[in-house]
Amino acid sequence: MHIKYSFYLLSISFLFSFNSIAQKSEKEIKREEYINSILEKYHEDGSLSALQNMTDKEFNKLIKIAYEAIEAGQTEILNYEKANIPSRSSRYHFNREIYMRYSRFLEVFIRVPVIVKAKILESRQVIKGGFGQLNLILKPEYIIKGKEPFLSQPFEIYYREYTYVPDSIDFKIGKSYLFLLWDRGEPDNKEFSIATWADDSQARFLIENDILYDHYNFFNMGSSVKWADFVKNIEELIFRIKNENNLDMYKRSLQDKF
């Protein structure tokens, strides 16, 4: 009886482990599918020519694969965006081509793994790895993009100030904002960081009275937009990406590219 019970437990344990491995492998395959789809278009020196010569239809296929790969998994499985990506790497050139072909907004939207509306519960200054930074405790309110487990409850993020931000638009405790988050891969910081590189102006995307305030029109929807309209527009973008639809509406005008 004891032997049968032990065998039963062993079988359950094996099945659980197998399912976990299978699930992880599926995410890893998505990641590899994405990476390979980009790398196979390049020479070993990271030439841009293959990407630049693609039709929009071909390039939109890569965008779809990239979006779904980044969206697919948790950071420990899908470490896509890390700090200091070599400037000659295929990923760097792929990101750059999204920017040149379409817009900075679309490039960022593909790259960041987490986009979430959240309320600031607490703010504190800390020193990590010899650098001063600000840490925020956030309460998630609406997830635009991201499958990370921490998004189900209050969580901590950090960021560093590299340029001056007027106090009138800076983060305030008790207010809700749209946060673009990524994993910098720093040993001293296990938390996600605000992607301050995403918008050179480092604008804060305040959401108040069901209005999203975008002072520098980063999202190309105006300096203020109703939250419901913003969500609708983003859902339309995701639909277009996943169905490889026409993305021309996200292209910058020629004069904006130089």
pLDDT in tens, 181-226: 988 777 778 889 998 877 766 678 999 999 999 988 888 899 999 9
Which of the listed CATH numbers 2.40.50, 2.30.30, 3.20.20, 1.20.950 matches domain 114-242? 2.40.50
- The pTM of this model reads 0.78
What is the reported pLDDT for 77?
Answer: 45
What is the reported pLDDT for 171?
Answer: 93
What is the reported pLDDT for 78?
Answer: 46
Taking the alpha carbons at both ends of the chain, their separation in whole angstroms is: 77
Whether 251 has a pLDDT exceeding 90, the answer reads no
What is the reported pLDDT for 18?
Answer: 35
Q: What gap in Å lies between CA 118 and CA 170, rounded to an integer?
A: 15
Whether 111 has a pLDDT exceeding 80, the answer reads yes
CA 4 to chain centroid, in Å, comes to 48
Q: What gap in Å lies between CA 59 and CA 243, rounded to an integer?
A: 13
What is the reported pLDDT for 68?
Answer: 81
What is the reported pLDDT for 217?
Answer: 87
What is the reported pLDDT for 118?
Answer: 98
Closest CA to 144 of 185, 122, 177, 175: 177
CA dihedral 68, 74, 75, 78 (to 10 degrees): -40
pLDDT band at 38 (very low <50, low <70, confident <90, very high): low
Determine what percent of the chain is predicted with pLDDT higher than 70: 70
Q: What is the mean pLDDT of the chain?
A: 77
pLDDT band at 129 (very low <50, low <70, confident <90, very high): confident
Q: Could you tell me which residues are beta bridge partners of residue 159?
A: 134
Helix (H) or strand (E) holding 179: strand 176-182
Whether 14 has a pLDDT exceeding 90, the answer reads no
Task: Locate the domains of the chain by residue range.
Answer: 2-111, 114-242
Whether 173 has a pLDDT exceeding 90, the answer reads yes
What is the reported pLDDT for 8?
Answer: 38
What is the reported pLDDT for 43?
Answer: 47
What is the reported pLDDT for 35?
Answer: 62
